[in-house]
A and B are shown apart, each in its own frame.
Chain A
Amino acid sequence: MPTDRYSLFSLLREGLRGNTGWKAAWRKAAPAPAYDYVIVGGGGHGLATAYYLARRYGGLRIAVVEKGWIGGGNVGRNTTIVRSNYLLPGNEPFYECSMKLWEGLEQDINYNAMVSQRGVLNLFHNDAQRNAYIRRGNGMRLHGVDAELLDATAVREKLPFLNFDDARFPIRGGLLQPRGGTVRHDAVAWGYARAADRLGVDIIENCEVTGIRIERGRAVGVETSRGFVGAGKVGLACAGNSSRVAAMAGLRLPIESHVLQAFVSEGLKPFIDCVVTFGAGHFYISQSDKGGLVFGGDIDGYNSYAQRGNLPVIEDVCEGGMALMPRIGRVRLLRHWGGLMDMSMDGSPIIDRTPVDGLYLNAGWCYGGFKATPASGLCFAHLLARDEPHPVATAYRLDRFARGAVIDEKGMGAQPNLH
């Protein structure tokens, strides 16, 4: 009998059997004629949605349709950072819900996602930034979330090699969220896929949605490259391609798709034991368990579906890195890639019904979708099953733009390429 559950015992047993007995992580499912729920998009959010739907609202027929392969999209194209250091009331409870789910994820789905709460440190460089971070930290603590303000001496003890006395951007301190950290992104995709599969979810890869069938104002299924799949309800979790898929149902979204680049260096001995962000530019860095420096910065800033960016942003990111920690100047780049970001007009996500009955939308994650994966899945599953928003996601309504109730965490206004 194939080995299914991962444990120390099964590891030993399979080690002695030459690892020949492991069951496939998920079945290669073919589409059935109809399901209760069809989730479009087999990324982290889509898979998490299917998992929580199956787990919490049992007895349902659920399919996830994915045009490519599991782990090939943004869930494998991010910098793996998780945190819940948000300021606004509409955001902070949601991201803290996500943080708590990360903390219990591995036991929940029986998969080693390498959740590492190594801390996320946001540096500040002047008095105004210190005040802003004090405010943010207080906001977090009022929501019961951990936040610590470090002065320059405390930061120096933690990361002595930073460029503290830079003439232009001296480091004055930082806001630390000790429970933040990193999670192995591919393992999140595989783990949710496997856990959903075990609960009977059909994960249908290489199945591109080409249309959304609407009858008498209600979505009744999706046209795909592998035929029509009927659905009681259709949930869209298509990240950078949200506008294209929503357009199949005649919807225009408050979203632009942009490209974000990220980078990994050659492997080095461990020297950065947390996630660090540079406050005077846009640069964030952590060190993977393999030793590579994982870092990134701003989006390129123009509409793109190309999954690759341009050189000016690479230069800008590297300048930020050099200003923050000059010792990485001679490190060689190993890989770099681009992913599609569904940049919403206020920088916050949407988890809501659409004007089409039976069609639900999960989109607008900007470049912060990875950390939200568990809560996004949980809240979208709640919305799909109950037809009402989950209590921590009540602010993420699609009509908030028309109502003027935007959640503008960054204070940038209706400008997607600045969030």
Chain B
Amino acid sequence: MRLTCPFCGSRGLEEFTYRGDALVRRPAADTSLQTDAQAWTDYVYLRDNPAGLHSELWYHGVGCRSWLVVTRDTRTHRVDDVRAASAVAAERSGGAA
């Protein structure tokens, strides 16, 4: 398996560190552990863990040190898309990077 970093090109897997599901969302900072513990439990522990397309975070530590959002099929390890996490975040918030 190789990942095509948008900044460095196609690189071997050993250059990257995996950081799990890219779709989990940290609850807002003022979410109370007393009144909404479930939101924190969901965020810290629960995962969809799909067999199929998975959106996930990788860190290119041996290259450009960018955080990347990779779309990959967990059944075949086929990589469909690699984007800079900053670009994905900017798109989600509707503003510029």
Contact = CB atoms under 8 A, between A and B. Distances in A.
A301 B56 CA distance: 12
A252 B48 contact: yes
Contact of A306 (B18, B46, B49, B74): B74
A345 B56 contact: no
Nearest to A251: B46
B49 A257 contact: yes
Given A301-B18, A303-B54, A402 B38 contact: yes
A305 B13 CA distance: 18
Contacts of A301: 18
Contacts, number: 72
A254 interface: yes
Given A306-B74, A402-B41, A243 B47 contact: yes
Contacts of A306: 74-77
Contacts of B74: 257, 303-306
B49 A255 contact: yes
Interface string B23-60: 00000000000000110011011111111001010000
Contacts of B1: 310
B12 interface: yes
A254 B24 CA distance: 13
Contact of B46 (A253, A302, A303): A253
Nearest to B51: A305
B87 to A, nearest CB: 21
Interface residues of A, number: 28
Contacts of B51: 241, 244, 257, 305
A322 interface: no
By secondary structure, the B interface counts as mixed
Contacts of A391: none
B6 interface: no
A257 B1 CA distance: 17
Contacts of A311: 13
Contact of B47 (A256, A302, A305): A256
B77 A252 contact: no
A392 to B, nearest CB: 24
Interface in A368-419: 401-402, 414-417
Contacts of A345: 44-45
Nearest to A417: B18
A256 B49 contact: yes
B13 A310 contact: yes
A61 B50 CA distance: 33
Interface of A is mostly: mixed
A161 to B, nearest CB: 29
A18 interface: no
Nearest to A301: B18
B49 A303 contact: yes
A67 to B, nearest CB: 13
Interface string B69-95: 000101111000000000000000000
B1 to A, nearest CB: 5
Interface in A153-198: none
Given A256-B20, A310-B1, A304 B47 contact: no
Contacts of B41: 401-402
A312 interface: yes
Nearest to A242: B49
A303 B56 contact: yes
B78 to A, nearest CB: 10
Contacts of B47: 243, 252-256, 416
A311 B12 CA distance: 10
Instruction: Output the residue of A243, A255, A305, A415 with the most chain B CB within 10 A.
Output: A305
A275 B84 CA distance: 44
A379 to B, nearest CB: 22
B10 to A, nearest CB: 14
A404 to B, nearest CB: 9
A415 B19 CA distance: 9
8 contacts: A244-B51, A253-B49, A255-B47, A256-B21, A303-B54, A305-B75, A402-B41, A416-B20
Interface of B: 1, 12-14, 18, 20-21, 37-38, 41-42, 44-51, 54, 56, 72, 74-77
> 7 closest pairs, A vs B, by CB?
A243-B49, A254-B45, A312-B14, A401-B45, A305-B51, A302-B18, A402-B41
Given A254-B45, A305-B74, A306-B77, 14 more contacts: A252-B48, A256-B49, A257-B51, A302-B72, A303-B54, A303-B56, A303-B74, A306-B74, A310-B77, A401-B41, A401-B44, A414-B44, A414-B45, A416-B47
